[in-house]
Structure 1
Amino acid sequence: MELHIVIQGRKDLANQLYQQLRDSIESGRLAAGVQLPPSRLLAAQLGLSRKTISDTYSRLTYENFLVGKIGSGTFVNTLSAQPQRSSIRSDLASQKVVRKWQDISLPLRHPTLEGTLRCDFIGGATAKTQFPHDDWRRCTQYALRQMSQARGFYSQPEGVAPLRHAIAGHIAFARGVKCSAEDVVVCNGAQQALDLIARVLIEPGCTVAMEDPGYTPARLLFAAQGANVVSVPVDEEGIIVDGIPENAHVIYVTPSHQMPLGMPMSVARREALLEKASRIGAIIIEDDYDSEFRYEGRPTDSLQSMDRFGVVAYVGTFSKTLLPELRLGYAVLPSAILEAVIKAKQLTDWHTSTLPQWALAKFISEGLLNKHIRRCHGIYAGRRERILARLAGDLSPWLEAIPCTAGFHMAVMFKVPINLRLLVELARKVEIGLYPLTGFYHSAPTRDGLMLGFGAIETLDIDPALDRLRDVLEQIAWQSCTAR
């Protein structure tokens, strides 16, 4: 490996080398277990004698910074190499702003591989076993060939043209969205789309109205950009339009599958929402995160398909249909904000990685996305039916589902008082991941319930997992009775 060592002059050479190597180890620039160059090679590179190098290595070995392995070489000692973090300054000119970001509590973080449970009802995630790896690999090879023909310049912030055309065609067919390819901006997931739209619409003090309960990361994002986020309650028809402030600049909704409760917004409520947004000059952000999976009733198109005022910014993602790790999403924008969002995109990250863009364009154009969605739809429908059957059966004394017809999570409410924290803790002990609804509420009265995601849990794991959930609920009920 190459070491960044600078030797100045011809005095105190060994101490210069020693101090720089020790500083590199203590700071973590030389990580634990890294092999150092042989003394002969380093001596030639630095113009020092081999004895100077050997003596320095010996001194650091004596102090346990290095360890010699016979026949292998000299390595940074794993026991002593622990990077020292620089002290935190409290006199930064921007300390107030830094503290604001530090104090943000990030909900809905997905577990690491080490923290994954055997049966996880986490929402917003899919199982990799369903991902069409062979088809995607072939599309990625195509993407590499396309990139090899490029001249090496940065790409366009709005996305590569074939993908924008493919997205426009797909969402027109699947969700009734009215757009052309020129209206589409490709983003790093739906979250970046929300961020970009917020950047061009929000300044400190602006009012943003959103559902309560609602998608908490969106609330935190708007608040972090200085917005006054106003909670608007929802009922069985969706957001209560009369509760939206007259001075709202932005209205954030999830009309096709309300996050997290799951009910769709009624047609009458959608019309009222569009009328009000047009009257007060607000932009509606329609987050259509997982509505391509629908199980009952007549299909409902997007809110954007009803927009005759040019006030809806439609946000979609491939994290739910494919994989979250791909970080591919998009926004279909009204003309009033399209150019501004494209410029904001260029300023923040220039453009989304072109390799997955070309691959996804090929994937969609060959009909592979629709094929994959149809296959997953059957899988999710079976899982949903199995959970609903159990909720109507042996779990019915405790839980009932809120009716929903789309997506791959459902909200279930408790019929009886329950210690949610205890339930989650006991469930984790038997390898079950449960997620309360409480984190989605802000100002509205909290209702005790769970979000049961069925995208990431395997079908064969559902019944054993719900058996354990039932056993835990019975245990809590028994403990509650004996404590009285």
Structure 2
Amino acid sequence: MDLHIVIDRSQPLGEQLLRQLRGLIRSGRLATGAQLPPTRLLAEQLGLARQTVAEAYERLTLEQLIEARRGRGSFVRALPAAEPERPAPTPVRLASAARIAAFQALPVPLLRFADSPLARWDFIGGSPEPALFPHEDWRRHLHAAQRQMSQGGAHAPPAGLLALREAIAEHLTFARGVRCSAADVIVTQGAQQAFDLLVRVLVGPGDVAAIESPGYPPITGLLQAQGARIAHVPVDEQGLVTDALPPDARLVYTTPAHQFPLGVAMSAVRRRALLDWAARTGAVVIEDDYDSEFRFEGQPRDSLQGLDTDGRVAFVGSFSKTLAPSLRLGYVIAPLALRDALLHAKHLADVHGPRLLQHALARFMAEGAYRKHLRRCVAEYGLRRERLMAGFAGALAPWLTLLPAEAGFHQAALFKAGSDIDATRLAALARRVDVGLYPLQGFGADRDGLLMGFGRITPDGIAAALTRIAELLAP
């Protein structure tokens, strides 16, 4: 069977194939029970690597759109029947109605991106390149982890498997100057769970919490859910303005290595000032080490946790940016004073994390595959960063200035003084030419500009997209 699939060589091949196969199934053009071509045959027809086709089939299997039948091939599964329309529910009076309404009103700006399709050339931030995921290595370690699990118990400790905590502690000591051992590591379901645990343990109704402005939107929602009073602290070219920190704050959230969304790094002077402030006030500093593994220039800056001598810094990291968001694996390096409370909160939240993935990641890191993968990612993202900087120095120079960033896979661009360009309108126009743009105002910025992520767009795609943006801006 020949499938009508068109491959654009300038775009990620696997993502194109997956998207088109998914569309054929969901639209009904590939009917329930239809057999897909063998991976080798489809790869030959499309001029792709067989592994690329196999990975697309594997994703479709995970999404329950196809099923593999041993010795026969892959077949389209029946799509779930659409639920019949239900009558409007009768209003029910609940004693907790006010609390329910408060949660319904919480800001969740990133939720709208979850089911939204990406543009062909999309500058979404915080999203790594799926094509860089080390499928072969990961599959090998996953299979080994399955064998290992068959010989062990059913549950992992709330803090996470010891082997993974040891691997994380060793990596952070080497790569980020963090002072920790396995006992300090709590493995979480992504960085977001780490933030949730810290906020729940540290603040209650009426307590003051300081966050960067502009900053990471989900932190605002977590704090509001606890009833905290939020102090928005400005960010300049040296990072968080420590002189503006309120003296009564219980915690401060910051992204010192690569500020979200402006991309600046916190200066050494500000780092020392922040730690001095925390020592004076007794507050806890949440250090979000957002995508700092991808460093392109200069010497690595010391982590706040590595400089901390008073046990005030909770260091949070994640494998969502370096490997894949779908793994939902992160960690917090907990100060001694918080460790037991965080472990109790973690146990009450989910008892323990996914043992299979923790086993696989522990093996992946211990073998050195993680560091090898990071080097490959830095090389690829470095090429994309160079292409982005070249475009802003060339075609977009009349309208926008790209803010410097030493690390990470996004940079911020500000409209030049005197510009009357509206970022929201520009983003809407860009969508019409298949370019995804994200205004800084969506992250609380008081300056007109754009967040330019380059995790999901190839170097050639960056050049093509910036050309289209320049055409939209041209008089």
Class of the TM-score when normalised by the shorter of the 2 chains: 0.7 to 0.9
Distance in 1 separating the partners of 2:311 and 2:90: 48
Q: Which residue of 1 aligns with 2:183?
A: 182
Q: Which residue of 1 aligns with 2:294?
A: 293
Q: Which residue of 2 aligns with 1:105?
A: 107
TM-superposed deviation, 1:126: 1.0
Distance in 2 separating the partners of 1:149 and 1:433: 48
Q: Which residue of 2 aligns with 1:120?
A: 122
Q: Which residue of 2 aligns with 1:418?
A: 421
The aligned runs of 1:168-317 (5 Å cut-off) are 168-317=169-318
SS at match of 2:212: strand
Distance in 1 separating the partners of 2:340 and 2:367: 30
> Compared with structure 1, are the counterparts of its residues 438 and 88 closer, same or farther at alpha carbon in structure 2 (3 Å cutoff)?
farther
Decide which of 418, 429, 437 is 1:434's aligned counterpart.
437
TM-superposed deviation, 1:89: 2.8
The aligned runs of 1:442-453 (5 Å cut-off) are 446-453=446-453
SS at match of 2:438: coil
Distance in 2 separating the partners of 1:191 and 1:253: 14
Q: Which residue of 1 aligns with 2:168?
A: 167
Q: Deviations over 1:87-131 (max 9, x none)?
A: 163521111111111112311347457722211100000111111
Q: Deviations over 1:176-198 (max 9, x none)?
A: 10000000000000000000011
Distance in 1 separating the partners of 2:101 and 2:344: 29
Q: Deviations over 1:56-82 (max 9, x none)?
A: xxxxxxxxxxxxxxxxxxx99968x51
Residue 224 of structure 1 aligns to which amino acid in structure 2? Answer: A
Q: Which residue of 2 aligns with 1:368?
A: 369
Residue 461 of structure 2 aligns to which amino acid in structure 1? Answer: D
TM-superposed deviation, 1:83: 4.0
SS at match of 1:129: helix
Q: Which residue of 2 aligns with 1:132?
A: 134
For structure 2, the 5+ residue unaligned runs are 1-30, 33-77
SS at match of 2:346: helix
Stretches of 4+ moved more than 6 A in 1? Answer: 75-79
Distance in 2 separating the partners of 1:113 and 1:284: 33
TM-superposed deviation, 1:430: 0.9
Root mean square deviation, CA, Å: 2.0
Distance in 2 separating the partners of 1:368 and 1:361: 10
The aligned runs of 1:138-157 (5 Å cut-off) are 138-152=140-154, 154-157=155-158
Residue 295 of structure 1 aligns to which amino acid in structure 2? Answer: F
Q: Which residue of 1 aligns with 2:43?
A: none
Distance in 2 separating the partners of 1:110 and 1:321: 23
Whichever of the two has the greater Rg, that structure is 1
Q: Which residue of 2 aligns with 1:40?
A: none
Distance in 1 separating the partners of 2:87 and 2:450: 40
> Compared with structure 1, are the counterparts of its residues 350 and 299 closer, same or farther at alpha carbon in structure 2 (3 Å cutoff)?
same
Distance in 2 separating the partners of 1:386 and 1:114: 26
TM-superposed deviation, 1:218: 0.9
Q: Deviations over 1:16-61 (max 9, x none)?
A: xxxxxxxxxxxxxxxxx99xxxxxxxxxxxxxxxxxxxxxxxxxxx
Count of residues in Structure 1 that have an aligned counterpart in Structure 2? 398
The aligned runs of 1:382-397 (5 Å cut-off) are 382-397=383-398
TM-superposed deviation, 1:470: 1.1
Q: Which residue of 1 aligns with 2:353?
A: 352
Q: Which residue of 1 aligns with 2:39?
A: none
> Compared with structure 1, are the counterparts of its residues 88 and 248 closer, same or farther at alpha carbon in structure 2 (3 Å cutoff)?
farther
TM-superposed deviation, 1:460: 2.3
Alpha carbons 2:107, 2:220 under 8 Å: kept: no
SS at match of 1:285: strand
Q: Which residue of 1 aligns with 2:17?
A: none
Distance in 1 separating the partners of 2:408 and 2:301: 13
Alpha carbons 2:413, 2:449 under 8 Å: kept: yes
Distance in 1 separating the partners of 2:98 and 2:205: 15
TM-superposed deviation, 1:428: 0.6
Residue 421 of structure 1 aligns to which amino acid in structure 2? Answer: T
TM-superposed deviation, 1:382: 0.8
Residue 227 of structure 1 aligns to which amino acid in structure 2? Answer: A
Distance in 2 separating the partners of 1:214 and 1:270: 18
- 1:458 pairs with 2:458: yes
Q: Which residue of 1 aligns with 2:467?
A: 467
Distance in 2 separating the partners of 1:85 and 1:461: 47
Distance in 2 separating the partners of 1:114 and 1:227: 31
Most deviating of 320-329 and 452-461 = 452-461
> Compared with structure 1, are the counterparts of its residues 86 and 143 closer, same or farther at alpha carbon in structure 2 (3 Å cutoff)?
farther
> Compared with structure 1, are the counterparts of its residues 78 and 334 closer, same or farther at alpha carbon in structure 2 (3 Å cutoff)?
closer
Distance in 1 separating the partners of 2:133 and 2:79: 41
Q: Deviations over 1:345-372 (max 9, x none)?
A: 0001111111110110011001111000
Q: Which residue of 2 aligns with 1:318?
A: 319
For structure 1, the 5+ residue unaligned runs are 1-32, 35-74, 479-484
Residue 452 of structure 1 aligns to which amino acid in structure 2? Answer: M
TM-superposed deviation, 1:233: 1.0
> TM-score scaled to structure 1, two decimals?
0.79
> Compared with structure 1, are the counterparts of its residues 142 and 423 closer, same or farther at alpha carbon in structure 2 (3 Å cutoff)?
same
